[in-house]
Chain A
Amino acid sequence: MSDGRLQAIGLCRYYHRGPQTVKAVDEVDLTIAPGEFLGIVGASGSGKSTLLNLLAGLDTPTAGEIRYENTPLRALSRQELASYRAHKVGMIFQSFNLIQHHTALKNVEMALYFNDTPHRERRCLAEKTLTRLGLGDRMHHRPADLSGGEQQRVAIARALVKEPEILFADEPTGNLDHDNTGQIAELLTDLHRRGLTVVMVTHDLELARQCTSRIVNMHYGRLQSENEPPQPRKASS
């Protein structure tokens, strides 16, 4: 067994729909090394988002095990699992999942409510992160007043502000146009370059090849193949 940061061993997540059992994730073994940028690709309904939710500690496996730095998540209490999400994990979603009635700044600040960041430091950290992502002049805007790309950058800022050890991105460019997709891809690549472990779920193989260091393919809940890291695409002028 390798010493990866995050390991999935025989991971299963089944749903029962009446008499039928849907195997969303089935016997998945996966190791994610520190500093790796893993791309999980596959068709819609192949179980990639379910796998991501399991790895992020949002969902509970039916069978198998997830180990974070050799600690099984199953052994953690619900409060400890929440603490794992608060301290170790950052998440971004296809639909951004920003809280609509809060400003961009407040949305980012809220991520620090749960990881013991002192009250007085939260605003400063949130402002710095937003500025770093080029949203210094948009931090007092509500999500409805921001473009899709800006909203996703706010979501990334929210994930990054607590300095997670792994960033999980679930179809981060799924709702974005070509230009914004490029910007977000560059941003994620840059974060990976700086040493952050990133796990990205996408159905866009091209994007996966462009950003990730390793790609795994999911098909009907099972990991089918591991591709060699694609050559980085040249930035468009």
Chain B
Amino acid sequence: MTFRDYISVSTGNLWRMKLRATLTVAGVVIAIAAFIAIMSYGVGLQQNITEQYENLGLVNTMMVYPPRDQQKVDTANIVINQEMVDSITALPGVRLVYPFNEFNVTITTADTSITTKAQALSVTALQTKAFSDLAAGETFGNDSAKYILATEALLHDLAIESADSLIGDTLIVSIDVASLDSAIARVPQTMLENIHDRAANIRMDSLRNRDYLMHLVHAELKVAMTGFMDGLMNARKTVSDTLVVSGVLRGRFGGPLRLKPIIIPIATGRNFASAGYSGDPVNMLGAMYDGSIFEAPSDSSRTFPKLTLELDPHHAYEPIRDTIEALGFRTFSFAEQLKEIRRFFIYFDLGLAVVGMIALVTAALGIVNTMVMSIVERTREIGVLKSLGAGERDIRILFLVESGLIGIIGAIIGIIGGWMISRVASIIARTIMEREGIPPMELFALPLWLIATALGFALAVSLIAGYYPASRAARIDPVNALRGE
């Protein structure tokens, strides 16, 4: 028998038992449709993440942080400063290093005023892929330009819908800084307040008493300190600049690099940073403790909470990571994270595949049942075929082709069904995302390998399911079969 004969005879047999074959195929269709829908979700999700990493060039990006516990003696002096930036820049395989420099700013437009976070970056840093995804406009041209780059987060904060409408708008960017001048100036002012009342309360006869004298000194120091803190906290001076929006970066949450809503050219930003301490008043105590609040900000003394490294894609990231970590710093590599994500997706997809496979195994039982029934009904026919010269191999292949056809037909319809389910789910997901203000993305993907896998699985499972009935059919004794036993 030729393969064409097997197909022709098997198709004829399936056609004769239309209802039973249709129901069995339906089982495979449901299983494969479920498998495709589930798997295309997993694959789509993975593809989305991988594309995002690749589009933003994150695979070549590494973050560097100071040691976690700065209070420890052995790590106290490990800080990210300009010296360290220079030494990391010199490492082989490092293309670019830019520090993270954020501060609170107030944005005032013609209509509103909001407080948000700003970040200073150099033009060189903006030329990397991470900043290439612009929703509108362009990046600023030089480090001292009077332009800013906004992210979609700012649009949201300002309740502006179109990125284009923000391009060219003038924003007044200002910061309140606490300076040592304002704090010191407030000390005599505070001390002069109520000085008469305090003087009247002094017991002159007790001034010779050392304890009483110390009590008075403490009380006055307390007043002076209150004035100092009041000056530091409340008598802040405002530094402002008028900047024009040159472009809007995509990503409402700042993307994986956690970009702040406003990006200011690094030299322009330095004007704000050098004006004084603009951070959170709570953190100010820490700055006071380590003395950094009193230091005149300069490039050499400035420390940064983190660095972003742009690496050479042809250079392995591991040696760079190891070198930096040997210096006592912590690192975070997006390439490593992507590797972890991919590893996770292997298990995730495997889990999804198992769910799909359970349905396929159930369908396989249907195939076994159908084929066994078919043997019972066609025992005499098998006997006739054997008397005509059919070998065990012919009968086995005939039944395997029959079960294989059930699998293939079921898989083809199932793949189409699964694709349709994923389309409907995708439309629903996109509608929900749009309603929630999340940039719509394609959650499902049906690559060719997934189609081939589904076809392969369906064929393999149906052949495995058909193997026992086919072997049973092949072993049928022709004499008994012809006798109708």
Q: Which residues of B contact A83 (CB under 8 A)?
A: 389, 391
From residue B4, how far is it (CB to closest CB) to chain A in Å?
Answer: 7
Q: Which residues of B contact A113 (CB under 8 A)?
A: 1, 5, 9, 388, 390
Q: Is A59 among interface residues, defined by CB-CB distance under 8 A? A: yes
Q: Is B387 among interface residues, defined by CB-CB distance under 8 A? A: yes
Query: A111 CA to B386 CA in the complex, in Å?
Result: 10
Query: A115 CA to B386 CA in the complex, in Å?
Result: 12
Q: Which residues of A contact B384 (CB under 8 A)?
A: 97-99
- Chain A residue nearest to B1 (CB atoms) is A113
Q: Is B386 in contact with A110, judged by CB distance below 8 angstroms?
A: no
From residue B96, how far is it (CB to closest CB) to chain A in Å?
Answer: 70
Q: Is A99 in contact with B381, judged by CB distance below 8 angstroms?
A: yes
Q: Size of chain A's interface in residues, with CB distance under 8 A? A: 27
Q: Is A114 in contact with B389, judged by CB distance below 8 angstroms?
A: yes
From residue A59, how far is it (CB to closest CB) to chain B in Å?
Answer: 5
Query: A79 CA to B179 CA in the complex, in Å?
Result: 100
Q: Which residues of A contact B2 (CB under 8 A)?
A: 119
Q: Most chain-A Cβ atoms within 10 A of its Cβ — which of B389, B391, B393?
A: B389
Other-chain contact of B392, A50, A82, A86 (Cβ < 8 Å) = A82
Q: Which residues of A contact B389 (CB under 8 A)?
A: 82-83, 85-87, 89, 111, 114-115, 162
- Chain B residue nearest to A100 (CB atoms) is B381
Q: Is A82 in contact with B386, judged by CB distance below 8 angstroms?
A: yes
From residue A50, how far is it (CB to closest CB) to chain B in Å?
Answer: 8
Q: Is B479 among interface residues, defined by CB-CB distance under 8 A? A: yes
Q: Which residues of B contact A97 (CB under 8 A)?
A: 380, 383-384, 387, 482
Query: A58 CA to B390 CA in the complex, in Å?
Result: 11
Q: Is A203 among interface residues, defined by CB-CB distance under 8 A? A: no
Q: Is B478 among interface residues, defined by CB-CB distance under 8 A? A: yes
- Chain B residue nearest to A159 (CB atoms) is B388
Q: Is B482 in contact with A158, judged by CB distance below 8 angstroms?
A: no
Query: A50 CA to B477 CA in the complex, in Å?
Result: 13
Other-chain contact of A111, B12, B388, B479 (Cβ < 8 Å) = B388
Other-chain contact of A85, B9, B12, B16, B387 (Cβ < 8 Å) = B387
Q: Is A86 in contact with B388, judged by CB distance below 8 angstroms?
A: yes
Q: Is A78 among interface residues, defined by CB-CB distance under 8 A? A: yes
Q: Which residues of B contact A99 (CB under 8 A)?
A: 381, 384
Q: B18-56 interface mask toward A, CB cutoff 8 Å, 1 = contact, 0 = none?
A: 000000000000000000000000000000000000000
Other-chain contact of A58, B1, B392, B394, B479 (Cβ < 8 Å) = B479
Q: A83-116 interface mask toward B, CB cutoff 8 Å, 1 = contact, 0 = none?
A: 1011101010100011101000000001101110
Q: Which residues of B contact A162 (CB under 8 A)?
A: 389
- Report A40-64 residues with CB < 8 Å from chain B CB: 50, 53, 56, 58-59
- Chain B residue nearest to A164 (CB atoms) is B389
Q: Which residues of A contact B1 (CB under 8 A)?
A: 113-114
Q: Which residues of B contact A58 (CB under 8 A)?
A: 386-387, 478-479, 482
Q: Is B385 among interface residues, defined by CB-CB distance under 8 A? A: yes
Q: Is A85 in contact with B386, judged by CB distance below 8 angstroms?
A: yes
Instruction: Given A59-B479, A99-B381, decide whether A82 and B387 contact each other with a Cβ distance below 8 A.
Output: no
From residue A70, how far is it (CB to closest CB) to chain B in Å?
Answer: 21
Q: B369-391 interface mask toward A, CB cutoff 8 Å, 1 = contact, 0 = none?
A: 00000000000110111111111
Q: Which residues of B contact A89 (CB under 8 A)?
A: 389
Q: Which residues of B contact A82 (CB under 8 A)?
A: 386, 389-392, 394
- Chain B residue nearest to A88 (CB atoms) is B389
Query: A53 CA to B215 CA in the complex, in Å?
Result: 126
Q: Most chain-B Cβ atoms within 10 A of its Cβ — which of A50, A82, A85, A158?
A: A82
Query: A236 CA to B16 CA in the complex, in Å?
Result: 44
Other-chain contact of A158, B383, B386, B388 (Cβ < 8 Å) = B388
Q: Which residues of A contact B391 (CB under 8 A)?
A: 78-79, 82-83, 114
Q: Is B388 in contact with A114, judged by CB distance below 8 angstroms?
A: yes
Query: A56 CA to B389 CA in the complex, in Å?
Result: 10
Q: Is A85 in contact with B392, judged by CB distance below 8 angstroms?
A: no
Query: A6 CA to B317 CA in the complex, in Å?
Result: 81
- Chain B residue nearest to A118 (CB atoms) is B2
Q: B467-485 interface mask toward A, CB cutoff 8 Å, 1 = contact, 0 = none?
A: 0000000000011001000
Q: Which residues of B contact A91 (CB under 8 A)?
A: 387-388
- Chain B residue nearest to A115 (CB atoms) is B389
Query: A85 CA to B391 CA in the complex, in Å?
Result: 9
Other-chain contact of B4, A101, A119, A158 (Cβ < 8 Å) = A119
Q: Which residues of A contact B392 (CB under 8 A)?
A: 78-79, 82
Query: A93 CA to B380 CA in the complex, in Å?
Result: 13
Query: A53 CA to B145 CA in the complex, in Å?
Result: 102
- Chain A residue nearest to B4 (CB atoms) is A119
Query: A213 CA to B4 CA in the complex, in Å?
Result: 43
Supplied contacts A82-B391, A99-B381, 13 more A-B pairs, CB within 8 Å: A58-B478, A79-B392, A83-B391, A89-B389, A91-B388, A97-B384, A97-B387, A97-B482, A111-B388, A113-B388, A113-B390, A114-B388, A114-B394
Residues of A within 8 A of B (CB): 50, 53, 56, 58-59, 78-79, 82-83, 85-87, 89, 91, 93, 97-99, 101, 110-111, 113-115, 119, 158, 162
User: Can you spell out 15 A-B residue pairs with CB atoms less than 8 angstroms apart?
Assistant: A59-B478, A78-B391, A78-B392, A82-B386, A82-B391, A85-B386, A86-B389, A86-B390, A97-B384, A97-B387, A97-B482, A99-B381, A99-B384, A113-B9, A158-B388
Nearest first, the 3 closest Cβ-Cβ pairs linking A and B are A86-B389, A82-B391, A114-B389
